[in-house]
Every structure is written in structure tokens, then in C-alpha cells.
Amino acid sequence: MGCISKGAGLLALASVLAACGGSGGSGDDATIVVGAAAPAAPVPAASAPSAPVLTVAITARGSALGPIAAATLSAAGGTIASVDGRLTLTVPAGALAAAQSISIQTTSNESPNGSGLAYRLLPDGLVFSSAVRLTVRYDDADIAGSDPQALMLAFQDAQGRWQPLADPVLDAAAKTVSAETLHFTEYALYTGFRLKPPVATLGVGKAMAISMDICFPKDDNGVTVIACKVNYVDSFKWAVNGIANGSPQVGMIDAGNLGVRFEAPAVVPAVNPVMVSAELTSTISTQKHLVLASIWIEGHPPLGGTVISTQVSKLGSGTMTHSTFASVDFRFDPTEQMYRPASGNVVSRYDFVDPVAGCDYHVAWSGAIGPQDGYVAIREDDGDTPRYTAAGITLAAHTGTTSCTSSGRVEPLTIDFASARWLPAPPAPHPLVTIPGAMDLRAKSDGTLSELITWTPGTGGTDTTVQWQLKPH
């Protein structure tokens, strides 16, 4: 398929959300602004225990993650990509009046129903004379529990609100969403609706609640912002593995006045995970959205996300910063009984600044991640919220050459990227033990595995920070 301008798609999406009580519902007088179309009339929820409150999303700014991508663009324009390669900024000729230093800082995504990471474009507040284009690549994990057609781009304003960018374009073949903007701030990809949880692990015979978070444009005193209803339950058409309301063999959906619950089968099904689906139908067209959640019965879903390391050392009168940013997808190995990287990429960067010696140099290296470059092991499992031990990633040996300007001379400098693991290797013969110094990850309510550890000071005066952020998908 080719690119899809989502102006019309947003109208259909708005009508879907209206069917979910999105444009009104009990006790709210929200006005939905999508293009020039009038908002669709609300349809009351038949099975929700109470109408969720429509709330304008106001969040804190995201936390900086990993190294910064930087470039200097001239009036002729050009492109720059984020360190993780997912965001590409395209500046046309004439958008800048003169040469301009531009940076992209990867951050945590604090937008409502956020998908993937967010990006802080610097210098903050920079205004262009003509529109620049942002293109963000997504993957399957970013649309878990949702639909690519619900993906949109938004920026965060000074009040912490999120404003959607107009006329986003979806390229389903390339898995990208793009839109134009005139200024720099924090930008993020978000989805208009998502089943919650999108991925989960559940013990046999156990039950869990299922709901949906919906977010859509709302007029807030003349400004179009994103507003959300969370934990929404409506009279959607529910199914499990395509069977209306499920069956004892794959699990059952109980959609009653107390909400929607999924009850796992008494034994592990032949096909695992099972797929719980909710069908949303537009009120102004026949367009349908089938939203899926993957429920693993006593299983091990794939884990995808980022592993980020920063080390800061004093070297004489200068400071060396070593930043590593890894995007990695883990798959469970039943033989080893632990997760190993199935694919991924690591970017490593050294930055040294010595104002006394007049040195300012940078070396970057990137490479692929393989199965031996890390692991995630189940350390303890109580059936619902397992704990994990994690370590990695191994940096392959590499040599880079750059230059350092000192007293007007350009001097060659060589940095060796030595092979070294951040944390201890997995224990033998069995991973279900505590590893001193390794990351201890516990699954959060949304299934995210995350942890941040810091050593200050470390060996030789090195301050080290390591952050894991993984999600099942």
C-alpha cells in the first residue's frame, strides 16, 4: 500500500471514538475538533460501569535517554536522524536563513497512549520560515493493542499539554508516520486507542480485567489538544481467537456490568498466545477497526526496547563521556530458559572535552547485536508479576580515529573500543538465582520491564548509569 493522508482517517477515527463516548458521554461537554467536520453525536456505553472522565493530557517532560545526535545545517537545508534511527528531520531549502546547529535528544515518551520513544528537538523554540518534516518509524511493539491508522504525531507545549500535528501521513509499507511543523520542542508518536493490556501473561484458570484507553483532539479554549478517557469499557464486539466471547479451550470474555474480564482456560491452549479482540465500528461509515491483545497463558512473550548506558570520567583537565544506546528485541530460548537478543543495533559514542588543552573530539561506532550480547533471565515467578535479572550488551572490538585541536594543531587520536560487558555474564548452569550487581527488573502493570541504576562514584572516578526499558509485544 502507498501513503495514506490521515485527514479523512482522523474523521473516521473520531467517529469510532464518538461511538465509545468520545465526544461527550455522561457529564462532559467536550468539543471534538477534527479538521472542519462537526463532532459526531455521542453513543452511550451499554456495558461500562461508569463513564470515564474526559481529561486533557498534561504531563511532565520526558527524561533524556542516551547520546544526542547533532549536525549543522545551512540555508540549503538537509536531514538529521536521531541516534536510534527512528526519527528523521527533513529541513527544506530556505527554512533556515543561515547555518544552524541542530540536535535531537531521545527521551522517554510521556505523551498519552505514547508509542515508542519521544524526541526533543534542539535548540528548543527554534522557529523555521517554512515547514520542516518529521518522519517517525514504528514497529509492531508500538502498535500492540492498537491499529496503525490510529497513530499520530504530537508536540508538547509550555503548559505540558500535547497538541496533535495536522495532516499526518501514514506509510504502512515503510511503517512510518510523518507530519510537518514550524518549530522545535518535544515530539512524540501516540495512538488514538489501545487495548489495555496490549500484551500480558496469565496463569491457567486466572482472570484479568481488559479495557481501552482512548485519546483524541479536543478544543481547550481555542487550542486543539489531546484529551483521554482511560479504563474505558464499551459494548464492543469481543472475541478470542476469532470466537465470539471465546470458549473454554482458549479462554472466555465476560462482558458484564462490572466491566470486561478475560478468564484463562484451565490448561495451556494448543496455540499460545491467544488473541483477544475488540471490534470498533464507525458511526458515520462502515469502517471497522479490529484491535488485538496478545495473552500468553503460562508463556514468555517477546521483549523489545532499549538498553542505555552512560559513563562519565575525568581525564586530566578534561571529561570523557561514553554513551551507549542499544535497541534490542529479546526472544525466549526454552533450552537455556532465558531470553536472548534475536536482533538489534547498538550505537556507542565517546565525547571528550578539555577546555584547558583546547580539545573537543567525538568518536561514534555502531554495530549489530547478536544472541551472545546480553540476556534476560526469569529470577523469580509468582505467576503474575515475575522478576527478571538482566545484563548486556557486549561491545565488539573496534578502533576509531578522530582529531583533537590543540594550540592550533590537528593531532591524530585513536580510541580503542574494548570488548567488555556492562554487567556480569549469566550464571551456570541455571539462571534462577540472584546475580550480585545485575539488574533486577519487575514487570509493571502495563507489562513494561524497566530499571535505572547508578554508580557514583565508580571505579577510577567513573560515574555510570544504566537504564533498561523493555516491553512485551
Domain harbouring 245, CATH code: 2.60.40
Q: pLDDT value at position 141?
A: 85
pLDDT at residue 90 above 90? yes
Q: pLDDT value at position 79?
A: 97
Q: For residue 112, what is the domain's CATH number?
A: 2.60.220.30
3-state secondary structure of 243: strand
Residue 388: band (very low, low, confident or very high) from pLDDT cuts 50, 70, 90: low
Residues 79 and 213 reside in one and the same domain? no
Count Cβ atoms within 10 A of the Cβ of residue 401 and give its class: 0-12 exposed, 13-18 middle, 19 or more buried.
exposed
The predicted-structure confidence for 404-439, as pLDDT tens digits, reads as follows 444 433 333 333 333 333 333 343 333 322 333 445
Higher pLDDT, 232 or 91: 91
Which of 245, 265, 297 is where one domain is finished?
297
Cβ(251)–Cβ(240) below 8 Å: yes
pTM for the predicted model, two decimal places: 0.77
Residues 311 and 284 reside in one and the same domain? no
The predicted-structure confidence for 167-184, as pLDDT tens digits, reads as follows 999 999 999 999 999 999
3-state secondary structure of 413: strand
Distance of alpha carbon 180 from alpha carbon 195, whole angstroms:
28
Q: Quote the number of domains for the chain.
A: 3
> Does 52 reside within a domain?
no
Residue 441: band (very low, low, confident or very high) from pLDDT cuts 50, 70, 90: low
Residues 390 and 419 reside in one and the same domain? yes
**For range 75-91, the mean pLDDT:** 95
Distance of alpha carbon 106 from alpha carbon 124, whole angstroms:
14
Cβ(134)–Cβ(179) below 8 Å: yes
Higher pLDDT, 355 or 163: 163
The predicted-structure confidence for 191-212, as pLDDT tens digits, reads as follows 999 998 898 888 899 999 998 8
Which of 297, 324, 344 is where one domain is finished?
297
Which of 170, 190, 210 is where one domain is finished?
190
Residue 312, number of CB atoms within 10 A of its CB:
18
> Does 334 reside within a domain?
yes
> Does 40 reside within a domain?
yes
Residues 106 and 151 reside in one and the same domain? yes
What's the domain range around 29? 3-46+57-190
Residues 239 and 159 reside in one and the same domain? no
Residues 97 and 212 reside in one and the same domain? no
Q: pLDDT value at position 51?
A: 61
Residues 292 and 324 reside in one and the same domain? no
> Does 444 reside within a domain?
yes
Residues 19 and 143 reside in one and the same domain? yes
Residues 344 and 289 reside in one and the same domain? no
Cβ(260)–Cβ(47) below 8 Å: yes
Residues 25 and 71 reside in one and the same domain? yes
List the one residue out of 186, 54, 41 whose CA is nearest residue 117.
186
Residue 314: band (very low, low, confident or very high) from pLDDT cuts 50, 70, 90: confident
Residues 154 and 14 reside in one and the same domain? yes
Q: pLDDT value at position 280?
A: 80
> Does 51 reside within a domain?
no
- DSSP state letter for 273: S
Residues 137 and 183 reside in one and the same domain? yes
Q: How far is CA 322 from the centre of its chain?
A: 24
Q: Cα Rg for the chain, rounded, in angstroms?
A: 24
> Does 185 reside within a domain?
yes
Distance of alpha carbon 468 from alpha carbon 422, whole angstroms:
12
